[in-house]
């Protein structure tokens, strides 16, 4: 198991013992790990007799609605006042699955001005030193793994409920593509075996996430791979770019395109895949990057798309039209030296 300095673990345990009201916040476009780690921690705090609220910057996909507590999550984009009040009143603000408050966009000023203690739990590179306690390990497969690790370190395993265990399993599963990448550490399978003792049904969790899509999503994937995928053989790269109206044609809502970016990597000669998605609401292009091997998505994201992330999975944004973003990508992929 990954470990943290005992002094930090003791401080965390003390903050939890002394506090009553805990707010947990994660990144925009919350994914399975952002949701799973946040809701898993919230559930555990509630089992400990505390009050916990999860604040998300914006909408999360429908196929995470089954997670325990998902119905009670406060969306900042819908209820900014409620989110602001909670952040201001919290004894402790937990920041999960982010390396900096800027990953929460509009929630950032609320985090920075919060008077409560701040705790960061995350597995992204280069954590910003803004929190009183930072639990950051880039080796971790997911933030959910780190939440479990901290619960164990605080002797809190008994208080973890089956529903909390489901949340943490979901986060570990989604951040590793159902344990197909970034998941060779034996700790991961030790943790899974511990979660199974809580009675979770991991096969059902897989189906609830990966076999629970709309018809539109499957048809959009067919369309995107058949009609829209560009290949760059010299760079072993691929690009899919989708307009808002293309996604609307298939009734796609946010989050439903997750996973599409991984598909070109199924080809034997592709080691870098990019997905550009027009986001009309935010007036920008959202960029997802994935790679296999040593190709540094995070460097590519930082140099060309105002982003960052992990070596093999990064994100960013482009301010301009989708066509301009595609041209920008084409130039970038030619000149980038991995
Ligand atoms: P996604 O393609 O799923 O949006 O993002 C892939 C990964 O990159 C996720 O782990 C996400 O947290 C991270 N990521 C996305 N955008 C940014 C960014 O602007 N900065 C950093 N540091 N990480 C990002
Ligand atoms: Mn994560």
The per-residue pLDDT for 255 is 84
- 234 alpha carbon to ligand 2 midpoint, in Å? 31
Pocket of ligand 1 (CB under 6 A): 27, 29, 31, 99, 124, 288, 307-310, 313-316
Name the closest-CA residue to atom 4, ligand 1: 315
Task: Give the number of other Cβ atoms within 10 Å of residue 141's Cβ.
Answer: 24
Ligand 1 pocket test, candidate residues 313, 314, 316, 319, most atoms within 8 A of CB: 314
d(CA 200, CA 162): 6
Q: Which ligand is nearest to the CA of 297?
A: 1
pLDDT in tens, 254-310: 789 999 999 999 999 999 999 999 999 899 999 999 999 999 999 999 999 999 999
Q: Mutation test of ligand 1: which of 96, 142, 311, 315 has the most ligand atoms closer than 8 Å to its C-beta?
A: 315
Distance 298 CA to ligand 1 centre (A): 8
| H helices present in 2-113, as ranges | 6-18, 32-47, 80-89, 108-113
pLDDT reported for residue 184: 97
Each residue of 190-244: pLDDT tens digit? 999 999 999 999 999 999 999 999 999 999 999 999 999 999 999 999 999 999 9
User: Using an 8 Å Cβ cutoff, are 247 and 220 in contact?
Assistant: yes
Contact 144, 174 (CB under 8 A): no
Q: What atom in ligand 1 is closest to the CA of residue 289? A: 2
pLDDT 10s digits, 44-99 = 999 999 999 999 999 999 999 999 999 999 999 999 999 999 999 999 999 999 99
Structure-model confidence comparison of residues 253 and 28, the more confident one: 28
Chain mean position to CA 218: 22
Closest ligand relative to 316 C-alpha: 1
The DSSP bridge pattern shows strands 133-136 and 272-279 to be unpaired
Question: Which parts of the chain fold into alpha helices (H)?
Answer: 6-18, 32-47, 80-89, 108-113, 143-153, 162-175, 186-196, 202-210, 215-223, 244-249, 297-304, 322-335
**Atom number, ligand 1, closest to the C-alpha of residue 31:** 3
CA of 16 to the centre of ligand 1 (A): 29
Please report the DSSP string for 85-124 in residue order: HHHHH-SEEEEES-SSGGGGGGGHHHHHH--SEEEEEE-S
Cα 171 to ligand 2 centre (Å): 7
Residues 6+ apart with CB under 8 A from 48: 16, 156, 159
pLDDT at 254: 79
Q: From CA 4, how far away is CA 1, in angstroms rounded?
A: 10
Q: Which ligand is nearest to the CA of 309?
A: 1
pLDDT, mean over the chain: 97
Q: For residue 338, what pLDDT is reported?
A: 87
Torsion sign (Cα): 294, 295, 299, 302: negative
Nearest CA to ligand 1 atom 15: 315
Q: How far is the CA of 97 from the centre of ligand 2 (A)?
A: 5
Longest CA–CA span in the chain (Å) reads: 58
Residue nearest to atom 23 of ligand 1 (CA): 309
**What are the tens digits of pLDDT across the range 96-111?**
999 999 999 999 999 9
Per-residue model confidence (pLDDT) at position 277: 97
Which residue carries 């985090």 as its tokens?
111
Cα 117 versus chain centre, distance: 23
Residue of the nearest CA to atom 10 in ligand 1?
309
């Amino acid at each position: 198991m990954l470990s943290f300095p005992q002094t930090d673990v003791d401080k965390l345990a003390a903050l939890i013992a002394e506090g009553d009201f805990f707010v947990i916040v994660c990144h925009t476009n919350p994914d399975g790990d952002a949701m799973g780690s946040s809701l898993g921690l919230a559930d555990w705090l509630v089992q400990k007799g505390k009050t916990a609220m999860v604040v998300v910057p914006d909408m999360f996909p429908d196929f995470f609605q089954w997670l325990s507590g998902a119905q009670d999550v406060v969306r900042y984009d819908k209820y900014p006042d409620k989110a602001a009040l909670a952040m201001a009143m919290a004894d402790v603000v937990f920041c999960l699955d982010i390396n900096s408050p800027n990953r929460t966009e509009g929630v950032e000023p609320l985090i920075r001005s919060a008077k409560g203690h701040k705790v960061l739990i995350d597995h992204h590179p280069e954590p910003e030193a803004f929190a009183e306690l930072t639990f950051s390990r880039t080796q971790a497969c997911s933030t959910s793994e780190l939440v479990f690790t901290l619960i164990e370190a605080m002797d809190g395993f008994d208080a973890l409920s089956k529903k909390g265990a489901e949340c943490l399993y979901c986060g570990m599963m989604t951040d590793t593509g159902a344990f197909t990448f970034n998941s060779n550490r034996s700790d991961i399978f030790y943790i899974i075996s511990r979660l199974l003792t809580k009675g979770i049904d991991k096969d059902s969790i897989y189906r609830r996430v990966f076999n629970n899509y709309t018809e539109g999503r499957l048809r959009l994937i067919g369309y995107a791979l058949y009609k829209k995928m560009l290949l760059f053989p010299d760079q072993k790269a691929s690009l899919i770019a989708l307009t808002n109206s293309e996604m609307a044609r298939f009734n796609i809502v946010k989050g439903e395109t997750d996973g599409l970016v991984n598909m070109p990597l199924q080809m034997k000669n592709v080691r870098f895949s990019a997905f550009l998605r027009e986001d009309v609401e935010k007036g920008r292009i959202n960029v997802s990057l994935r790679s296999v091997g040593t190709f540094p998505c995070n460097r590519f994201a930082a140099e060309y798309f105002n982003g960052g992330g992990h070596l093999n999975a990064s994100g960013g944004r482009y301010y301009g039209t989708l066509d301009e973003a595609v041209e920008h990508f084409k130039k970038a992929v030619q000149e980038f030296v991995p």
